[in-house]
Structure 1
Amino acid sequence: MTKCKHLMLGLLFLLLISFVMALCLGTPSLSPTQLWRNLSNPNQGEYFLLWEIRLPRLLASILGGWALGLSGLILQTLTRNPLADSSTLSANSGAGLALALALSFGWMDQSNSPLFLPLLTSSGAAISIFSVYLFSLGSHYRINPSLLIISGLGVTSLSTSVMVALISQTDRFKLDYILSWLGGTITGDRWETLLLTFPLLIGVSLLVYKRHTSLNLLWLNDQSAIALGLNLQKERLIELLLASLLTGIGVILVGNISFIGFLSAHLARQLSGVKHAHLIPVSSLLGMLLLLLTDTLNRSLLAILSLPTGILVALISLPYLTLVLFDAKK
């Protein structure tokens, strides 16, 4: 077996162990024997806790980490920037603005929101990403890294300002929902949301994997990619759409969580090289594992602090981001 296959099997094993541990940890905590008994017997006292509260939350964390990890990989490849992420390119804030608009103007209710949300948030993310992308194009349609960061900050600030103005006029329930979303709270922990987003995520991920050769070419400079037969503008458009769909799915499930895409994609490149046939599954698995572990830590050991998961992810990411920046300076 190759090194990458060993890596993927190792990550799958860690994910499985972490998942079982996460089911056991919490209030109340359960032993593996109690866990099995409660999962298999609906008459046990913690059956409802496991099936209706803990299990949906863990699955939302895993699927959300998968979506954001893969989205971060696409955006880093597209911009050739190892620090790119759905949050730095304003995708998260665009999705949040679309959500705030829908809540403020009553475009969705409890009966249609599971069907409406993926399209809504993906559209908001797409508009934001395309805006940042267009603003960052320099001469000869090449992405200017400085303009990319400035454009991302500008579009994020604008989206957040409009979002705050909208939610200040809404009722208390909608305000609490948006504020929890902004903090990065796991919001997709309902079975109907999970059953809707899972097949969508599978489909988009397969489309991304099918284009792994094109992603390899996009990581090269423009001249090399064109010389090797890549239709650069068309491929960029397709990858932006796929990244927007993934971000839209991710923010439905886990809210406004930043840095998961950056962390998982950056670590994947360090561990598995530059071939996207390897990077796509490794980045997805790392996203799942990182978000699952962070959320488990948050709701068990740090439960007394009542921190949104997104804040804890940002705190954990800060040392790694600092190391990456220092390494880049060297």
Structure 2
Amino acid sequence: MIHPALLRKQRLIVIGLLVIIAALAAVSAGLGPSPLSFDRLIPTLMGQGTFKEDFVLFSIRLPRIVITVLAGMALALSGAILQGITRNDLADPGIIGINSGAGVAIAVFFLFAPIDAGHFAYLLPVAAFAGALLAASLIYVLSLRKHTGLQPVRMVLTGVGLSMALSGVMIVLMSSAERQKVDFIAQWLAGDIWGDDWPFILAMLPWLLVCIPVTLAMAQRLNLLGLSDPASIGVGVRLGRERTVLLFLAVALAASAVSVTGGISFVGLMAPHIAKGLVGPRHQLSLPVGILLGGFLLLLADVIGRNAFQPEGMAAGVVVALIGAPYFIYLLLKK
């Protein structure tokens, strides 16, 4: 049973994060090449803005804010799942190769598939999921041992190696593509949030609406998977089935996010760790906090990248990496 005081603390943190995200979203909506006065945000949202204000807010700023928050939430939850099933604090969809698998699939889809503009946004997450699932399955199989089961450290190392190999495949694909398409792939690799339009949000939402509630419902099983394999089996956990379902969810979440934001790493590493530091290791408490932290971190990185590095700006993925890489090294030395 979770102590009532800890539950109250978690609820206060969740409310606080929601307020902070809303405030940061308002800042993001107001800043940019065409500034929108903060005292005009609410009237414009209520339909009382000028044509320019409506265009800037609803066609440019708001879709980017929504897609950034949703992608950050998906990446954070994917990272939490991977850390839970591998019992390894260094697991992250970007670090262990899942994002790279999605990236290669997106590149192949973009370069060679006959693309119908009307269906492009909706087919992109499917292509990313296929590539990410193939990469995750390969990592999982290579990390299994007949007598000892899944080897968490081996899984991370295998994922890093596969990620490097897939990066080589991506370079080969880019070397044979047209300049315009190479620019798109390079933008994706940098983690520049390019799918900032309403169709991409509609394409991503179904994945999150299915995966997030299912994962939250499986929080107790994630707790049990954190035990040793014999202990987990002893309390009735079917290790193979539970890990497969959770890995499937982690892949779906990561693929839906990176299909529209690009190859962003470290959000799935940092958000779960910070959440556990705030409310403890129980996933019933840490998952909701981690989800909101992921949305906040990616939105913050996007705001900083767009406004602090003028005139060209900096990709959100690069800003996150500048923060996440030192954090990864810290965890590596600590653990």
- Category of TM-score, reference length = shorter chain: over 0.9
Q: Counterpart of 1:45 in 2: which secondary structure?
A: helix
Give CA-to-partner distance per residue, 1:239-264, whole Å, 9 cap, x none.
11101100111102211000000010
Distance 1:323-1:154 versus aligned 2 partners, 3 A rule? closer
Alignment partner of 1:196 out of 188, 203, 226: 203
RMSD over aligned Cα atoms = 1.7
Greater mean deviation of Cα atoms: 74-83 or 37-46: 37-46
For normalisation by structure 2, the TM-score amounts to: 0.93
Residues in 2 aligned to 1:219 and 1:211: alpha-carbon distance in whole angstroms = 13
Q: In the alignment, is the contact (CA less than 8 A) between 2:307 and 2:313 conserved in 1?
A: no
Residues 1-330 of structure 1 aligned to structure 2 (within 5 Å): 2-39=8-45, 40-138=47-145, 140-304=147-311, 306-328=313-335
Counterpart residue identity of residue 231, structure 1: R
Give CA-to-partner distance per residue, 1:221-255, whole Å, 9 cap, x none.
11111111111101111011101100111102211
The alignment of Structure 1 onto Structure 2 pairs a total of residues equal to 328
The percent identity for this pair of structures is: 36
For normalisation by structure 1, the TM-score amounts to: 0.94
Instruction: Give unmatched runs, 5+ long, in structure 1.
Output: none
Counterpart residue identity of residue 14, structure 1: I
Structure 1 residue 304: deviation in Å?
3.0
Structure 1 residue 185: deviation in Å?
0.7
Residues in 1 aligned to 2:51 and 2:119: alpha-carbon distance in whole angstroms = 33
Structure 1 residue 182: deviation in Å?
0.4
Structure 1 stretches of 4+ with a deviation exceeding 6 A read: none
Counterpart residue identity of residue 235, structure 1: E
Give CA-to-partner distance per residue, 1:129-151, whole Å, 9 cap, x none.
12112212235243334422331
Q: Counterpart of 1:303 in 2: which secondary structure?
A: coil
Q: In the alignment, is the contact (CA less than 8 A) between 2:32 and 2:306 conserved in 1?
A: yes
Instruction: Give unmatched runs, 5+ long, in structure 2.
Output: 1-6
Structure 1 residue 179: deviation in Å?
0.7
Residues in 2 aligned to 1:107 and 1:44: alpha-carbon distance in whole angstroms = 36
Q: In the alignment, is the contact (CA less than 8 A) between 1:25 and 1:300 conserved in 2?
A: yes
Give CA-to-partner distance per residue, 1:91-140, whole Å, 9 cap, x none.
00000010111122124331221221121111111111121122122352
Q: Counterpart of 2:165 in 1: which secondary structure?
A: helix
Q: In the alignment, is the contact (CA less than 8 A) between 1:126 and 1:241 conserved in 2?
A: yes
Distance 1:59-1:232 versus aligned 2 partners, 3 A rule? same
Counterpart residue identity of residue 12, structure 2: H
Residues in 1 aligned to 2:282 and 2:206: alpha-carbon distance in whole angstroms = 26
Q: Counterpart of 1:46 in 2: which secondary structure?
A: helix
Q: In the alignment, is the contact (CA less than 8 A) between 2:85 and 2:246 conserved in 1?
A: yes
